[in-house]
Structure 1
Amino acid sequence: MGKLSGITVVDLTQFLPGPMMTVMMADQGARVIKVEPQAGDPARMMEPNEAGHSVWFANLNRGKESVVLDLKSEEGKAALVELCKGADVFVEGFRPGVMKRLGFDYDAVKQVKPDIIYCSISAFGQEGPLAHHPAHDMAVQALTGFLAVNDGPDGMPVVPGAPSADMAAGLTALSAVLMAVVGRDRTGEGAYIDCAMFDSILPWCAHTAGSAIAGGESPVSASQRSLGGAGFYQVYQTADGKHVALGGREIKFARNLLAALKREDLIPHAEREAGEQGELIQFLRDTFVTRTRDEWVEWFTDKDVAFAPVLNFRDALDEPHIAERRILVEGSDGAHHIAPPIRFVGEEWIPGATPELGR
């Protein structure tokens, strides 16, 4: 039995943040009832497919039950009321105001289930100037300042490689719901959670946006140690057109690498402020481009340096580390799943089945 066995979740979310949150609950034994419209969660249609399902959909909805309801019909509303009566948690991801118009806002659901834990996930929260502004992940990153520092040496922001605002919201919502479950066990009272993608990702800038947080100017990537201004937190091209990364700013790593390269004279450069390490960065660029990525991997084997080759997803998923820790798991239908990051020692995790629409 999973840690959340006995918890029932009514899940009205689609795409990424909500499904990511509720699949983590399903992975731990919660009963998650996914309420879908007639056409289903749009993620069902997102290619590529494996074993008859979208890989995206399967990885974020395994282990759930699917129920198709038309929430604009009296029959659909009545069915949802019945689901709410047996629920511990209710999760929705519509724009603010939609659930009230449908008759299933927090106050309405609380009338049906007084101790319900109700979680709304939205881009900007239920109130405020941006509450009704349409947005997916990148727009939220743009409005929080994160996209501005997701830039190259030319200062041009690029499309982020990870939907950080979506995932931050999913993790934040999960944490909040579990806190509320603990609180309800003590007090008998439910809770309403207003989880915004904007609010969820913003704390992630504490280590980079200090000057702005303190009321000053916004930091510039080229002068930040974590954003490209330091030689030992940097990406370098190799002779075969691939890339490697130095990912440890501690001075001991600089000493170890520069000594091995017989350039101890550059160690003081690694101690300089970010943005003032141009000579060191140029030396490392000139050095790394002399060998292929795999040659550098071999060279670094006996070096105590925070170094990594830049892998694509195929390379990464084929790494022995993935197999050893059983991070990529094959389900009973042959489909592949990325294992949940929350796993308990001594307990084997097996992916639940991907629900067919309405089943």
Structure 2
Amino acid sequence: MKLDGLKVLDLSAFLPGPHMTMMMADHGADVIMVEPANGVGEPVREIGERTPDGWSVWFRNVARGKRSLKLNLKDPAGVELLLKLAEQADVFVEAFRPGVVTRLGVGYEAVSARNPKIVYCSISAFGQTGQHVQKPAHDLVVQAMTGLMDLGRGLSDGQPAAPGIAFADASSSLMALSAILMALYRREKTGEGDYIDMSMYDAAIAWTPNVLGPTFGKGVAPEPKKMRSFGGAAMNSIYPTSDGGFIVIGGSEVKFAENLLTALGRVDLLPYAKIPPGDEQEPLKAFFRETFASNTQAHWEEFLAPVDCCWAAVRNLKEAFDDPFTAERGMVFTDAEGNRHVGPPIRFAKEPPRPNPKLAEFGEHSVEIAREAGLSAAEAEALKGRGVI
């Protein structure tokens, strides 16, 4: 696998860091979860619904294939053990509030002094510099501050809504993975590691090019209901059906509009699909609203199946994961115990991922990992007895 032989120390929690390092584990990296010796460890071990075997679904889908080291970083012996492990590691990931790792003695300066080749990635809400550096935040706050939540205002009530996915978390996870792989590639040429300041705010802001037209072009805030991506275009909108379902038309290209309107017998409305999104397209939107509301979702799924245009019925997560196509793509798989997992999205023809569904008990590998750092069996057991590991 692509990352065989790579060792990763992961001090992060919740979603951005753990999801990223799980993707690395799926491709062969040895990922060590460094969990706080607080009796719980990774918080998502205890969050949300559980499968019948007792594991949290959230934990199962960010922690598979990793090893667990319980570690008390408030004890100097715990700090020294982590620094010894860092001497052997390739990647170090942390997601504390800025300044915490430095106070603990495991910041970039301390770690790189022991291993100049380390690629050290800090993931935080607002980065390591700037006026918001100490502001606490999770995904929802970041989406509010970046303007992304405002883009989700309802088309009728005008109210912002909580997003359906933790986009700031997800985008920072993907950006961090990209940055780490860039740094590892550069290390092959220079022999030097690097430090990555990954901000959830920065990552979310970076994904806005398709909605920035009004802001950069005219100096005004976007009006979502008039924009192509959010319902302003008749061919890029959501339409209720007669039975409470919804059909999404999601491609504004004229060729798709012509195909759909031909199938519906109203090609005379095609000129409205050729003008910019907004109120001027209302006659076409009104036709679609009336048309799709006249019959059931199942009817429209059958009707639209042969039409060459972008469309889909709105499904819930259960329906999406139960769709055989999801399994065909490897994006859901079942382990030997019958538990379902989200599959790895990164696949190579020559070295495909091999996700390991095994989950580590809290601190399961602490003694083993301490021995790998060079401690004797007696020293490792002594640290365990003191609660350091």
Pairwise CA RMSD? 1.2
Is the Cα–Cα contact under 8 Å of residues 222 and 274 in structure 1 kept in the other structure?
no
Question: Counterparts of 2:347 and 2:85 in 1: how far apart (Å)?
Answer: 29
| Cα distance change of structure 1 residues 250 and 259 upon mapping to structure 2, 3 Å threshold | same
Q: Which runs of 5+ in 2 are unaligned?
A: 365-389
Comparing 58-67 with 257-266, which one deviates more in the overlay? 257-266
Q: Secondary structure at 1:257's aligned position in 2?
A: helix
Deviation at 1:47, TM superposition (A): 2.1
Question: Counterparts of 1:102 and 1:210 in 2: how far apart (Å)?
Answer: 45
Comparing 347-356 with 162-171, which one deviates more in the overlay? 347-356
Deviation at 1:126, TM superposition (A): 0.3
Q: Secondary structure at 1:53's aligned position in 2?
A: coil
User: What is the correspondence of 1:1-359 to structure 2 with a 5 Å cutoff?
Assistant: 2-38=1-37, 39-50=40-51, 51-153=53-155, 154-214=157-217, 216-275=219-278, 276-345=280-349, 347=351, 349-352=353-356, 353-359=358-364
Instruction: For CA contacts below 8 A with separation 6 or more, give which structure has more relative contact order.
Output: 2
Is the Cα–Cα contact under 8 Å of residues 331 and 351 in structure 1 kept in the other structure?
no
Q: Secondary structure at 2:122's aligned position in 1?
A: strand
Question: Counterparts of 1:349 and 1:108 in 2: how far apart (Å)?
Answer: 33
Structure number, greater radius of gyration: 2
Question: Counterparts of 1:297 and 1:18 in 2: how far apart (Å)?
Answer: 39
Comparing 337-346 with 252-261, which one deviates more in the overlay? 337-346
AA paired with 1:189? E
Is the Cα–Cα contact under 8 Å of residues 331 and 350 in structure 1 kept in the other structure?
no
Question: Counterparts of 1:196 and 1:326 in 2: how far apart (Å)?
Answer: 30
Question: Counterparts of 1:244 and 1:346 in 2: how far apart (Å)?
Answer: 39
Comparing 252-261 with 90-99, which one deviates more in the overlay? 252-261
Q: Secondary structure at 1:302's aligned position in 2?
A: coil
Is the Cα–Cα contact under 8 Å of residues 337 and 351 in structure 1 kept in the other structure?
no
Is the Cα–Cα contact under 8 Å of residues 66 and 355 in structure 1 kept in the other structure?
yes
Question: Counterparts of 2:84 and 2:340 in 1: how far apart (Å)?
Answer: 34
Task: Give CA-to-partner distance per residue, 1:59-106, whole Å, 9 cap, x none.
Answer: 111111000001111221122112111111100000001011101110
AA paired with 1:45? E
Question: Counterparts of 1:112 and 1:240 in 2: how far apart (Å)?
Answer: 64
Deviation at 1:29, TM superposition (A): 0.3
Q: Secondary structure at 1:204's aligned position in 2?
A: coil
AA paired with 2:158? G
Question: Counterparts of 2:272 and 2:253 in 1: how far apart (Å)?
Answer: 13
Is the Cα–Cα contact under 8 Å of residues 27 and 355 in structure 2 kept in the other structure?
no
Is the Cα–Cα contact under 8 Å of residues 92 and 119 in structure 1 kept in the other structure?
yes
Which residue pairs with 2:369 in the alignment?
A: none
Deviation at 1:183, TM superposition (A): 0.3
Deviation at 1:215, TM superposition (A): 6.4
Q: Secondary structure at 1:235's aligned position in 2?
A: strand
Deviation at 1:347, TM superposition (A): 4.8
Is the Cα–Cα contact under 8 Å of residues 14 and 42 in structure 1 kept in the other structure?
yes
Q: Secondary structure at 1:357's aligned position in 2?
A: coil
| Cα distance change of structure 1 residues 56 and 235 upon mapping to structure 2, 3 Å threshold | same
Comparing 203-212 with 8-17, which one deviates more in the overlay? 203-212
Q: Secondary structure at 1:207's aligned position in 2?
A: helix
Task: Give CA-to-partner distance per residue, 1:88-144, whole Å, 9 cap, x none.
Answer: 110000000101110111001011111111000000000101111111111111111
Is the Cα–Cα contact under 8 Å of residues 10 and 92 in structure 2 kept in the other structure?
yes
Comparing 335-344 with 169-178, which one deviates more in the overlay? 335-344
AA paired with 1:304? D
AA paired with 2:220? E
Give the length in aligned residue pairs. Answer: 358
TM-score, length-normalised on structure 2? Answer: 0.90
